[in-house]
Structure 1
Amino acid sequence: MEDIQLLETIEKYLSGELSDQERTEFDVIRQKSADIDQMVVEHKLFLDQMETYAKRKNVTHTSQQVFSNLLANGEWAPIEAVGVPIKVIQLWSKYKKVIAIAASFGGFFAIFTSIIVMYLSPSLNGSQLLQLSKAVEVIKKNQQVQGHLLNEVKTKVPENAKLISGGSGFLIDTKGYIITNAHVLKGNGAIVINSKGQELNATIIYSDLTNDLALLKIEDKDYKQPKTIPYAIRRKISDLGEEIFTLGFPRNDNDIVYGKGYLSAQTGYEGDSSSYQIQISANPGYSGAPIFNSNGELIGVISTRQKLAEGVAFAVKSTEIIDVVNALKGNEKTKDIIIKLPKFTSSASRNRKSQLDNLKNFMYSVRSFN
């Protein structure tokens, strides 16, 4: 498909101008080509941004009229303004004529998006992906904010230990086994914190750097073992366009956060078959957070996001969790560990609020230290 024709097709796809058959055929193309799928996602994002800009411009115009009337009536006097150069506005002023011409072709918006993003973004240092673990500076800030709590309640972080990194995790066995990302565990030790704020001691059992998954086990007398886990680990590939949601700990106050989106590609970055591309807002701290489908099945683990594309993230497929559990049997240190993965989803028939109320009890914030 020629570039111009492809861009025009994307424009029609997003505006709903394609027939049902054409839309189905184009969905197949998106599924087979991560590059084309990425173009669709970026183009949709840009159109949304342009719509937001138009609304803001309209508000600004209205505000200027109000202030002009107030000034004319002597009811308002302006103070001397300080000129502050804003890159986005400068770029818009410089290229607005070009954009007006490109609008007739629709798809050229995606090209202009890339120009703006590249101009405003910092150097990538050779990497297009950003890991979503929390940096030590963020964790220190969290400690300062909640310093009074740390003084009142004895923390389970060893006295002379230094927090290195953090993220999210979730139970895969009622005995206290937790899955997170390997890159979350930059230290030698770890604690986990449940959704109620209770700290629990944990041990790092296994780490798979290739698939970016790690296994922890809660080993704490205060841990209360649940009878069952309400979500199954999906063993099949999920469908393109499937609605997804997550629960994780990206905030500094350690409050659990809900996010939703959809599965935008069945492969990850550059066609990685062990991960999905997902459209979801993913901030640092979401590393290791589970991805659920609308039925409450666990289908993946959030790991990274793309730096130059807002809302484009990647999740390790749930089948890799099964591989990690199987790999324990072949390791001399872990061969005696028996993990029973949950096979049934008990929250499928519940509404979303009820699902979340149940699922959050199995989610954990993960902290790693040296």
Structure 2
Amino acid sequence: MIVWEKGEVLRIREETEAVQRMVVRTEAGEEAFAVHYPLLLGRAEPGDGVWLNTTAVEMGLGTGGEHFVAGWISKRPQSFAPVGHIMKMRYTPWQIAVSTGEEEGNPHREAVADRDTLGGWPILLGELHSMLPIVAAVWRHQGLIHRKRPRVVYVMTDGGALPFALSQHGKHLQELGWLDATVTAGHAFGGEVEAVNLHSALLLARHALKGDLVFVSMGPGIVGTGTPFGFSGVEQGEAVNTVAALKGVPVFIPRIQGVDGRERHRGVSHHTLTNLERVALAPAEVPLPDPLEPELSLQVETIPRRHRTFSIAVTEVEAEVILRTYPFPLRSMGRGVSEDPLFFRTVCAGALHTWKRWTQIVEGRSSLSIHREYGHKP
């Protein structure tokens, strides 16, 4: 189940307080990349002997070709004083004590202690972590155009990577000032605010962190098996139910791809259809890029009528202009905007729709105005 290998730290490529990316020499004498989280063991230095979990690389999985440091060979792990009473990664050797926003003694507790509603606030829900920088770029672009500065909050679930520190996009967006706050929910950890589950994470994002625009997705990585329900992205459908239970407006980004070697993901992905047909029991708003090819329009018509679809005008050129403002590589499933413009247009449409929803609230417009604007009949 786990492949262990000894290694030696050769040099540190990049580091923050939360993560170190390094070059190691393996037992076979080969140089390889590795990731280490100082919170778990203490900081690594060149020359340290380490135990490496090499399982994913050995299996050829999509981890970016990096091993993970799991322990020291020749020194004692560093201890850290617990900062809270809630354990994440519970009952594993790496369980850590964190102070979640809900617990007594946390400065954010008062803001959510008696809150049980989002009050009709729109929450944007994505399946893939790679959607995060696209959404953030659209919201920043809209802010510059309309001279508004909304607070943007990212909620990271535990459906993918658990440490927020692994996210290069998260790091870049924080450096750019495009993210105002982050919340890590469930067993995900390392956000500015920790949360026990998605319900609390959303209440913290909205009420404690004063989020105007909130985006939810898993961290880097997604599990898929090709079976109807065997993918970690089912959490997107579950998130629809969560937002609805909190009396918010779930805005669902469909996964629509023009290019993919797997037939089940070409056009409207089976992940999206499964989520909207079988997992999301509450109605969601589903923005779609306009125009859509006729064959895609036929696929879209299979979305259950309890959900509301919206046509959002966004062309390939418009998407490219917006996403060009993000000064780092922007790819999803190995493809950039020019290689699969449909995917990127769809994510842009979701972000634009949520911006309009937020603007509607800020301007005090009626609940039906956005439907009229899009020519949609609620």
Sort the TM-score into its range (normalised by shorter chain).
under 0.3
TM-score, normalised relative to structure 1: 0.28
Structure of higher CA gyration radius: 1
